[in-house]
Structure 1
Amino acid sequence: MNRARPALDPELRELLADMPLMSGLSREVLAQLRRLPSTPIEPLLAHRQAVRRETTVRAEDGAAVPLSVFSPVSTDRTTAVRPCVYWMHGGGMVMGDRFSQIDIPLEWLDAFGVVVVSVDYRLAPEATGTTLVDDCYRGLVWIAEHSEELGIDPARIVVAGASAGGGLAAGVSLLARDLGTPAIAAQMLICPMLDHRNISVSSRQYSGGAGVWTREMNEFGWRAVLGDLTGDEVSPYISPALAEDLAGLPTTYIDTGSAEVFRDEDTDYAGRIWAAGGQAELHVWAGGFHGFDALYPQADISATARRTRTDWLARLLNRSSSAEPTRTGLVP
C-alpha cells in the first residue's frame, strides 16, 4: 500500500537525485556490495595527531574479533586519563567493517581528545543470533580491562553506533546493565536499528521502490541475523525494542530522520526510556533520510545534526570530569 511520506529536506533531495538507489537486497547483491573497497582509513588519519593500534579480542566461541584503537598524540605527560568512544559500525548487520562511518567518532577525537575504539564484529548471515552483539560486548570488556594501558578513564566510556551499529550499541548497553559490568557512561544511538518486527508506521511508509534503506532491505538484514529464530527465541540483546524494562540504562542520545524506516522505533525507544525514569535526548531531523549525515556531511542539515551530537557529548564529558579544560575549553 502506498502511503504519504514526509518530504525530504530540499538540499538532501537534490543530493540524493545523483545517487544510485537500490530497490532491494539479496544474497547476490550483498556479495557485490561486499566486494566494494572498505573506507580508506589513511586519508582520515593523515591530518590528525592520532596513533592507530590494531588488536584482537577472543569471542566466546574463540573467534578473533579485530579492534582498531585511535589515540590522540600527546606530549603532555600530565594529561589526565581520557574518555573513550566505543564505535559500532552500520551496514544492516550484513556489511561494513570497523572503518565504516569512522569519520564520525574521529571528529570527537579531534574535539575532545577521546580515545576511539572500533570493533569489527562478525556479520550475518555467516554469524547469527547473539553472535554480533556478543562480539561487541567482548570488545567493551577488553576496553574496561585494559583502560590503564590505553589511558582511558573506565568511568567515561561511551558506546556509540550508527544504524545496525546503533542497535548493537543498545544491545551492548542492555547486556552490560544486566551483567553488572562494565560501566557505561552513555550510549549514543544514531538512527539505530532496534526492532526486527518491522511493523511501525514509518517502516510501512518506506516500503516499495528504491531507497537508501527500505522496509524490504530491513527485512533482509533481520532475516540474515535471526536465522531460524522466531517469536520468543529472539533476544532483546539482538532486537533491543523487545526489552521489557529500559530502567537503569546509561544516559542516552538518539537521533533519526523524519523520512526513514527507523523513525518510529527510535522515537518509541526514547519514550520508553523516559517512562522508565531514565534520561534520553531525542532529535528527529525533519526531511532526513536514513544515514543522511554520513552520506552527505556537507549538507546544512547534516552539519547541524553532527554538531548537535558533538555539543551533547561535550556537555556529558564536562559534567563527568573535573579535569582542567584544554585549549578547546572542553575536557581532555
Structure 2
Amino acid sequence: MEHNSTTETTGGALASMPARPPFDPELEAALTTLADGVPPTVTERMIGPMRENPRLRVTPEMARDAGIRSRDLVIPGHDGDDVVVTVLEAEGRTGVGPGIYHLHGGGMIVGDRWSGVAALFDWLHRYRAVAVSLEYRLAPEYPDPYPVEDCYRGLVWLQTHAAELGIDPSRVLITGASAGGGLAAGVTLLMRDRGLPPLMGQLLMYPMLDDRDGTVSSAQIDGVGVWDRGSNLTGWTALLGDRRATDDVSIYAAPARATDLSGLPPAFIDCGSAEVFRDEDVAYASALWASGGQAELHVWPGGFHAFEGYAPQAALSREMVQARDRWVHRLLGE
C-alpha cells in the first residue's frame, strides 16, 4: 500500500508526494550497516573531511595486486593549467587496443582519479584496453566550467596522444559514475558541438545530470540512502553557485537541459529505482531515443545510489555489473 507524504518543493510550496519505492531487502540491510559511516546528506562543512577519506577509492597497490600497472602524467587542463591523469593497463600489455576515458564520481565536490577505477580492471585485461583517469578540479574552489572543461581537455589529450598510449583512436569509450557520468555526458556534447571525432560509446553510471531539483525522485529520496536530495543540492550549489536552477546554466554543466541529443554515440545508462537521479536518467535516455539516438537503460528495482559499490555481493549488484559487462563486450569484444 502506498502512502502519501508532504514534501517542500523548490519554490517553497507544499505538495503531496508518493512515498519512495522500497529498497531491495539485501541492499536495505547494507544501508543499515553503512548508516554510521555514510550519512545520507552531505553538507558543505563535510566536504573537507570527505576529501581526506574518499569513498570507494582504489590505491596503486590494489591496482598492482589486480595485475594493473599505472603511471601518472601531467597534462594541460582548462585554460592550460596543469591537471593529472593516471594511465592504467594490464601488466605485460603490448600493441594497440581500445581506450577507456574515466571520470570519477563524488558529486562535483569530492573524489579523485582513483575513485571507482576498480570497475575498469577486468576490461583492461579482457580487451587489452588502456584507461586514462583524470583528476579534474573540484567545486566549490573550481566552479563550472572548470570540471567539464578539464574533462574535455583530458579527452582531447587522449585522442592526440593515442598512438603513444597504444590506443586505437576510433575505439574510445567514455565512462563515469554519478558526477563523473554527468561530466561524461557533458564532454560528449562538447565533442559533438566542437566538431571533434565521435566516441565509440558513453557509459553513464547513475549520472548526475540535472541541477534543477524538480523531479519526483529528487523529492522522494530525502534523508535516506547515501546521496539524497540535500547532498545533490550541496553538490550543484558548489558547482554553480547562485546560477543553480536558473536559465544561466549550460547543457555541458547540466546535460539534462539539452533539447537536442542527436549525433551522439551509443549510450548505456543505469540507476536504481530508489535514488535521486532515477527520473533525470530515465528522461535522458528517452531524450536520446527521441533524437534518433541509441541508448540502453536499466533501472534496478530497489537500488540506492551506487549500491553496487557499497554492497558488491548483493544479487542486484552482480546483475548491474553483468549488464554493463555485456554492453561493453558488444562494443569492445573482438
Mark yes or no: TM-score above 0.5.
Answer: yes
| C-alpha contact 1:255 1:284 (8 A) present in aligned 2 | yes
Corresponding residue of 1:68: 86
Residue 291 (structure 2) pairs with residue 291 (structure 1): no
Equivalent residue for 1:143?
A: 158
Counterpart position of 1:49: 67
Matched, 1:282 2:300: no
**Partner letter of residue 29 of structure 1?**
M
Contact between 2:225 and 2:304, CA under 8 Å: does it hold in 1?
no
Alignment of structure 1 residues 1-332 onto 2, 5 Å: 1=6, 3-20=18-35, 21-36=38-53, 39-74=57-92, 79=95, 81-207=96-222, 209-229=223-243, 231-318=246-333, 331=334
Instruction: Give per-residue Cα distances to partners, 1:38-91, cap 9 Å, x unaligned.
Output: 73423422333332111021123232111000022336x6x4x20011110000
**Segments of 4+ moved more than 6 angstroms:** none
For the Cα contact (< 8 Å) 1:129–1:229, is it kept in 2?
no
What SS does structure 2 have at the residue aligned with 1:307?
Answer: helix
Query: What's the CA shift for 1:210?
Result: 3.7
* Aligned-CA RMSD value: 1.6
Distance 1:41 1:313, change over 3 A: same
Q: Give 5+ residue unaligned stretches, structure 1.
A: 319-330
Residue 171 (structure 1) shift: 0.2
The letter of the residue matching 1:195 is: D
**What is the SS of the residue equivalent to 1:17?**
helix
DSSP-derived class of the 1:103 partner: helix
Q: What's the secondary structure of 1:225's corresponding residue?
A: helix
Q: Is the 8 A contact 1:140 1:182 kept in 2?
A: no
- Partner SS for 1:18: helix
CA distance in 1, matches of 2:49, 2:72: 27
The separation in 2 between residues aligned to 1:73 and 1:8, in whole angstroms, is: 40
Provide the rounded CA distance (Å) in 2 between the counterparts of 1:291 and 1:49.
Answer: 25
Matched residue count? 315
Which TM-score applies when normalising by structure 1? 0.91
Identical residues among aligned pairs (%): 47
Q: Check the 8 A contact 1:90/1:161 in 2, yes or no.
A: yes
Q: Which amino acid aligns with 1:271?
A: S
| Residue pair 1:106, 1:116 contacting (<8 A) in 2 also | no
State the one-letter code of the partner of 2:228. Answer: T
Aligned partner of residue 22 in structure 1, secondary structure: coil
State the SS of the aligned residue for 2:173: strand
Which residue matches 2:13? none
SS in structure 2 at match of 1:227: helix
Q: TM-score, normalised by structure 2?
A: 0.90
Q: Would you say the 8 A contact 1:141–1:182 is kept in 2?
A: no
Amino acid at match of 2:45: E
Structure 2 unmatched ranges of 5 or more: 1-5, 8-17
